[in-house]
Chain A
């Protein structure tokens, strides 16, 4: 093999309270696509941020093309020929495509001091876009583009640096099949002159485009494999650190009567004619790519957003859900996708958060029953094995998994009959994942109807009794447990219904 363009050895990085990277090794050769694989929170993004100069490493060495380098800022990384396309797109919506592409290194007028050369900016940007066959107007406002188009702009921007190393962090997470194919074609072309780091947790994608795969788990390098000489089972086991079957708990249950039914729900173009039902004790998985309308659907069920037409029935009776309060009264609770923004009062204590939905149980008029409150907190902390030294600890100090359990506890305290879980294990470590699956399974056995929105296919397949697949605001398919395969779900999730 040729001399690597990048060699990272013994990289360590800690943030207050967490050791995010521990002795991570990684190397990269020009001409290869090297996949970086790992669960959420495994340290992939942190490693990339170290490389990109956003979080300088605490220890370890980075050698680029044989030259040891200290990367302490974004500028230094760019100078070293490293370009990163982050998972969240970092674009200024009010500026144009060209202005975004040259942000931070605007071409200046050759005649006047201080003055930007807008024509040159626009011209170079357009030339770049054309050179990689992107059908985009460099003068368009980025805020008016679709996510896929914005991503293309990020790629064009990365290329414009004359980079030697290109990092793509989950580039396909919000793309349709067609857009993904276009991206693969582009990657094939870029591969000739660059080394590409490709972060993803979609197996089939890695096997399609990568040469090598490095797996990270809990901030450590688990190993590197030639893609041609490995299997997806091996990679998954490296990723989760145990046999797959041990991760999930799913007790077969006999679903009871229908608890919640939606008929022909519509909301703008986000939701079009969606109907489904969920039974007592059943786990309904909801799959789809980002932007398929899954979260929008859940928000309507909980009264956060209104519906334009259609009806929602709870236990067979038409329910008027206009605000979250109505939904909660009917026994519908949701653990939202983004726990830090929508689920928790971060600067509140564990106890404060757990009892937020159950205040009526211990506050009656002016009477505050401190003992009842303590009981509720104690109950759920034990039931969900939330690891905290005391209920007084601030929620922001807990790990992702424990935070998620607090959100679940909060809603359980309202004694729901329908529990909606939106991406229940996002950003949660493997151990906590298994615990959360056990909690979900136990709740289903107790007769709670569960709707689980998830982009994690193994999770959907192993936990659900039934799966509804959505695409562009529509329900594409409903698959029974026997029909569930990753391939089947992805087929419908990318709008391919034939």
Chain B
């Protein structure tokens, strides 16, 4: 009898519930979202070229490498570590894959597999050394950073290795519709990483390890394994990004990836991940990646001298993180 009337009541409830999750996700990121929005608005006004499909697709492609690295870096920083070796690992893996095809004539699939394996192995070593020796992650990865860069130079004799093999070049230059393949890869990486971090034991242990190391140990969690896995994942992602980049450039460049670790760290920090570990999200990192990517793109469109771009980027990072700290302090005082 009342069935005619009752359905009108739960309606807002359902809407509320449907909105609850997005609100919970968006609310802590309101600051950076606003910043991103303001930046886009300003750029659309200043440069007619900004808000065009081709430019936006361009931005997506440009940020895809940094996004991959930053997702991995998020894991490292969540467990209270860091990985400085991502750039050089990217370089050695990419040049190795390109070189194996162009110089040694290996089939593309095998070369790519070896390239991925190489990056993952370096990541594994990072994790293994960090967890077994207790040397600080900063130091360990600083060392492997030099080692990997050196290996890339040794392998190529310091010169680029050209590699014009269609199936290899297609990896980074292909499209699905109007969307470049690297963007698709990054989307997949994002989803897989979200799954790992939010839906598996491994992800839970990452937060536990960074949030309270002792709690993790006392709960019987094998923290060595968690660390090894984290750094291996980063190594894999760096290698994959390196192969995609080299494929797009038709060559293995031993010099690529210089300073990539810093952009990745900047994105993670902009995204609100705490440097002391335990707090942070991949969504936040994604936003951080966009902030840096759009800033780069906008400054280029506005023809701002690349030297000044560096200065501006540094200032933006400093301000953004300071605002974040002020916000947290405000919360703590209450």
- Interface of A toward B, CB cutoff 8 Å: 52, 54, 73-75, 78, 84, 86, 88, 90-95, 99-100, 103-106, 108, 114-116, 268
Contact = CB atoms under 8 A, between A and B. Distances in A.
B212 A92 contact: yes
Contacts of A115: 199-200
A92 B216 contact: yes
A73 B333 CA distance: 40
A490 B11 CA distance: 55
Interface of B: 199-201, 204, 207-208, 211-212, 214-221, 278-279, 333
A104 B199 contact: no
Given A73-B220, A75-B220, A104-B221, A91 B200 contact: no
Contacts of B214: 88, 90
B207 A116 contact: no
Contact of A54 (B211, B216, B218, B221): B218
B220 A91 contact: no
Nearest to A115: B199
A103 B211 contact: no
A94 B219 contact: no
B218 A92 contact: no
A93 B218 contact: no
B79 to A, nearest CB: 12
A100 B201 CA distance: 12
A92 B201 contact: no
A104 to B, nearest CB: 4
Nearest to A84: B218
A103 B208 contact: yes
A95 B219 contact: no
B278 to A, nearest CB: 5
A116 B202 CA distance: 10
Given A74-B217, A99-B204, 4 more contacts: A90-B212, A95-B211, A103-B208, A103-B216
A103 B204 contact: yes
B278 A93 contact: yes
A116 B208 CA distance: 15
Contacts of B208: 92, 95, 103
Nearest to A78: B220
Interface SS of A by simple majority = loop
Contacts of B212: 90-93
Contact of B220 (A74, A86, A94, A268): A74
A493 to B, nearest CB: 27
Of listed A52, A78, A91, A108, residue having the most chain B CB within 10 A: A91
Query: 6 closest pairs, A vs B, by CB?
Result: A104-B219, A92-B211, A90-B215, A74-B220, A103-B219, A75-B220
Contact of B207 (A52, A88, A94, A108): A94
Given A106-B204, A115-B199, A92 B278 contact: yes
A86 B211 CA distance: 17
Nearest to A100: B215
Given A99-B204, A116-B199, A116-B201, A90 B211 contact: no
B282 to A, nearest CB: 14
Contacts of A106: 201, 204
10 contacts: A75-B220, A90-B219, A92-B208, A93-B211, A93-B212, A94-B207, A94-B278, A103-B216, A103-B219, A105-B219
Nearest to B198: A116
A84 B214 CA distance: 14
Contacts of B200: 114-116
B132 to A, nearest CB: 17
A268 B332 CA distance: 12
Nearest to A121: B204
Contacts of A93: 211-212, 278
A386 to B, nearest CB: 31
A90 B279 CA distance: 17
A124 to B, nearest CB: 15
A57 B215 CA distance: 21
A103 B278 CA distance: 14
Contacts of B211: 92-95
A93 B217 CA distance: 15
A329 B249 CA distance: 66
Contacts of A116: 199-201, 204
Nearest to B199: A115
B218 A86 contact: yes
A105 B333 CA distance: 35
A22 B278 CA distance: 39
Nearest to A88: B214
A435 to B, nearest CB: 32
A473 B217 CA distance: 34
Contacts of B201: 106, 108, 114, 116
A241 B208 CA distance: 42
A290 to B, nearest CB: 19
Contacts of B219: 74, 90, 103-105
Contacts of B220: 73-75, 78, 104-105
Nearest to B278: A94
A115 B201 CA distance: 8
A90 B218 contact: yes
Given A114-B200, A116-B199, A116-B204, A91 B218 contact: no
A107 to B, nearest CB: 10
Nearest to B202: A114
Nearest to A54: B218
B54 to A, nearest CB: 39
Nearest to A53: B220
Contacts of A91: 212, 215
A103 B199 contact: no
A130 B204 CA distance: 24
